[in-house]
Amino acid sequence: HEGEGHCGGFFHKTENSTMNPTSDRIDFNDEDSNTSANPHFDEVLGKRLSRRSLFRGAGLAATAAGATALTGCATTGGASSTAIDRLGFKPVAKTTTDKVSIPEGYTAQIIYALGDPLAAGVPVFKNDGTDTQFELRAGDHHDGMEWFGLDASGKPSDSFNSRGILGVNHEATTDEKLSSFFIHANGGTAALPRPASEIDKELAIHGLSFVEVQADGKRWAYRQTSPFNRRITTMTPAVLHGVARGSEHMVTRYSPDGTLCRGTLNNCGTGKTPWGTFVSGEENWFGYFHRNAKDDDARKKDKQVQALNRYGRKAGAASRHGWESGGSEDRYARWNNSAVGAAAKDDYRNEMNTFGYVVEVDAYDTQAPMRKRTSLGRFAHESVAFARPVAGQPVVAYMGDDARGEYIYKFVSDAKWDPKDAQGANRLAAGDKYLDKGTLFAARFKEDGTGEWIELSMKNPVIEGSSYFEFKSDADVAVFTRLAADAVGATKMDRPEWGGVHPRTGEVYITLTNNSNRTAATADAVNPRVYTDMKGSKEQKGNVNGHIVRMADASPAGTDFKWDIYVFGAEAGSDKSRVNLSSLTDDNDMSSPDGLVFSPASGICWIQTDDGAYTDQTNCMMLAAIPGRLGDGGARTVQHGDRQVTTHVGKTPTPATLARFLVGPKGAEITGWCETPDGRAIFVNIQHPGENTAMADVNNPAKYESQWPANAGYGAGQRPRSATIVITKNDGGVIGT
């Protein structure tokens, strides 16, 4: 994440954390590019366009009229949710110890960490910076994750509970200055040009992995030689799909016809489609690219310049790792996003346009190329949350754009759901059917607890006639989605991150992790808090601790919704009139909610934090929640000087309905969650433990911020590693109950 969180890679100097005085890290996650004149929603209420003038034709209205209410979630297969009304574990206390803390009666086991070999003949990971062959090893910064079941014979299964494939995002790497220092023997080279051998390692540790895991009745382990094991890196060939395929904006030296590209980058959240594939969001990819200082002139200041600035790549901006400096080979040249040739087919001026999408992979098919689904828009994607599919109705997906002042989106497929597609063997063809053609919307929230989805397409006359940005086609809208949302007046939010759909109510939950840019003047009903919080002697301002918005569509494909705030993150002792509006206690207080997933087996909502504001009191954590329903609370007024903002707050949670389940090691973010179909084993990722270690101390374990997981008995060396853990209940029961 940018600026105030850790996810997204880049050092993550945070506005909620104190910089290590011995380090000199560059914060490439600090994206703050929404400087559009797009008003906040309270300014546009009186200027609303009627739906008749906003949309051409009656297609949307007909779709809305014919749709049925959301009834659940299909993000993973398996057992139906069993309603529970209270959590069944003792809350875990806040702690800053360098370990994974979980409730009494549970066991956690580390099963898959950075560098673990994924093929026969790959040496055991030495963890001293000398290891190579990362194309055949686990990548770094484990993030979003999904379960794909296998039966005892290795065939796909939605019900077998002791064998499966984990699809894992490898978002980024722990770095300082330019180097991914923990994977290099002496911390790497922190100046340009960088050695090609170092860059090659870094190109390989990003991306995705698919790894088979299996339980023997007592312990879980990953299988090094499984035929399902697979790495996808920044160099893996991919196919562009959807409305932007073949457009002028996708033309590169690698693909003159704009249909192919390479790799995936900065993958954060995930999702599982109703037809059984893995989808992953490309988040903070913009910082990996270099632009020459004179590139605006080289591009003749065309509209791409406006778009590049809007997506955080101003001319002359330094790249995160300096990959473009590795030499003249194509694998390095592609990271120079400058116009250096005679035309787009001669260089990589459009390479950045091939990133920022939802990618789709079939976990069971190791040969099928990854697809980039451009119709779902291009922005800093987190997860993809699918509404429960209803036969004869469109497939609906919800997404957030994780940067300050960005937007919440919804995609509605043109194709109507056919349940037979959930059983088909050609899963990616189903993805073509439902994700390549459809309509993208951005959310506008109103102060009365309602809202509307605004269509982002050339059918919308606001976009077709925009003076803000020149849109000539729906491909333009897909590639420059943020500018389309700007143009229609979507609501600027406090960094929308992961989303989840409640498996029984169908309501959509989106985490809004924090926002240092929120001010009293811009506070609105859905982003109502602005306050000062102290971390030691450091003053933190804005929406420091974040919140979770809850939405309910009138119909899945419709344009009207209602909303409230499920819960506000806050420290237990903070002011309940302005900050701790949800009255959190020491059993469930939190800061910067990020990951959010509903369990299909139990219905529990799992909330994970990526925090820098409260880490002087506790490491990042995971909480279990049993949310109520939208509207179960009431209106609250928040005072900002002489200005009042009225918001809508859900019912106050208690330790029986919201409780801390896990606290991670030092410096780590808790992210990624999936489960076996019976809900008796959950998998959780521990990302970048020890990330605040100084590069100068890379060979001095005594100065590491964290030595996890080595200090828990896993693997060689003492350098901290991102890793996947599995948690089981000692009595064999369903997790959290």
pLDDT at 328: 96
- Give the C-alpha distances (Å, rounded to integers) separating 593 from 27, 278, 284, 494, 562: 21, 23, 18, 11, 21
What is the identity of the amino acid at 538? K
Q: Measured at the alpha carbon of residue 29, what is the angle toward residues 702 and 21, in degrees to the nearest 5?
A: 35
pLDDT at 221: 98
CB burial of residue 18 (10 Å; 0-12, 13-18, 19+) = middle
Distance CA 281, CA 385 (A): 11
Distance CA 678, CA 673 (A): 15
pLDDT at 24: 45
Q: What's the start-to-end Cα distance of the chain, in Å? A: 32
Q: Helix and strand tally (H, E) in the chain?
A: 11, 34
Distance CA 135, CA 137 (A): 6
| Least confident segment among 7-11, 158-162, 176-180, 606-610 | 7-11
Distance CA 543, CA 314 (A): 27
Whether 600 contacts 76, CB under 8 Å: yes
Give the number of other Cβ atoms within 10 Å of residue 91's Cβ: 19
Q: What six digits make up the tokens of 3?
A: 């600026």
- DSSP class of residue 180 equals -
At 222 the three-state DSSP class reads: strand
Whether 280 contacts 208, CB under 8 Å: yes
Query: Angle of helix 303-310 relative to helix 481-488, nearest 10 degrees?
Result: 90
Convert the pLDDT of each residue in 225-277 to its tens digit.
Answer: 999 999 999 999 999 999 999 999 999 999 999 999 999 999 999 999 999 99
Closest CA to 543 of 611, 475, 601: 611
Distance CA 102, CA 736 (A): 11
- DSSP class of residue 484 equals H
pLDDT at 6: 45
pLDDT at 121: 98
| Least confident segment among 16-30, 580-594, 631-645, 706-720 | 16-30
Q: CA torsion 404→405→406→410, rounded to 10°?
A: 130
Strands (DSSP E) found in 569-642:
593-598, 605-609, 621-625, 634-640
Instruction: Give yes or no for a cis peptide into 709 (omega within 30° of 0).
Output: yes
- Looking up tokens 């030092």, which residue turns up? 666
Chain-centroid distance of CA 576 in Å reads 30
Chain-centroid distance of CA 89 in Å reads 28
Please give the average per-residue pLDDT across 603-628, as a whole number.
98
- Give the C-alpha distances (Å, rounded to integers) separating 391 from 77, 395, 558: 17, 9, 16
Is the C-alpha dihedral spanning 564, 566, 571, 574 positive or negative?
positive
- Looking up tokens 């200090």, which residue turns up? 711
pLDDT at 36: 62
pLDDT at 348: 98
Q: What six digits make up the tokens of 680?
A: 């008796």
Closest CA to 131 of 729, 717, 734: 717
Closest CA to 15 of 372, 725, 544: 544
HEC readout, 22-88? CCCCCCCCCCCCCCCCCCCHHHHHHHCCCHHHHCCCCHHHHHHHHCCCCCCECCCCCCCCCCCCCCC
Whether 460 contacts 51, CB under 8 Å: no
Strands (DSSP E) found in 116-218:
142-149, 163-170, 207-215
Burial 166-195 (b: 16+ CB within 10 A, else e): bbbbbbbbbbbbbbbbbbbeebbbbeeebe
Is the C-alpha dihedral spanning 390, 394, 395, 401 positive or negative?
negative
Convert the pLDDT of each residue in 2-45 to its tens digit.
Answer: 344 444 433 333 333 333 333 344 454 567 778 765 654 334 33
Distance CA 446, CA 699 (A): 54
Q: Give the mean pLDDT of the chain.
A: 91
Assign 156 a pLDDT band (cuts: 50, 70, 90). Answer: very high
pLDDT at 82: 56
Distance CA 459, CA 462 (A): 9
Convert the pLDDT of each residue in 336-375 to its tens digit.
Answer: 999 999 999 999 999 999 999 999 999 999 999 999 999 9
Q: What six digits make up the tokens of 178?
A: 């330019």
Convert the pLDDT of each residue in 116-143 to its tens digit.
Answer: 999 999 999 999 999 999 999 999 999 9
Assign 79 a pLDDT band (cuts: 50, 70, 90). Answer: very low
688: alpha, beta or left, given left = phi > 0 and alpha = psi -120 to 50? left
At 543 the three-state DSSP class reads: strand
- DSSP class of residue 290 equals B
pTM reported for the whole predicted model: 0.92
| Least confident segment among 19-23, 213-217, 336-340, 705-709 | 19-23
Closest CA to 20 of 707, 694, 620, 699: 694
Pairing of strands 237-241, 230-232: unpaired
Q: Enumerate the β-bridge partners of residue 307.
A: none
- Looking up tokens 């673990």, which residue turns up? 116
pLDDT at 38: 60
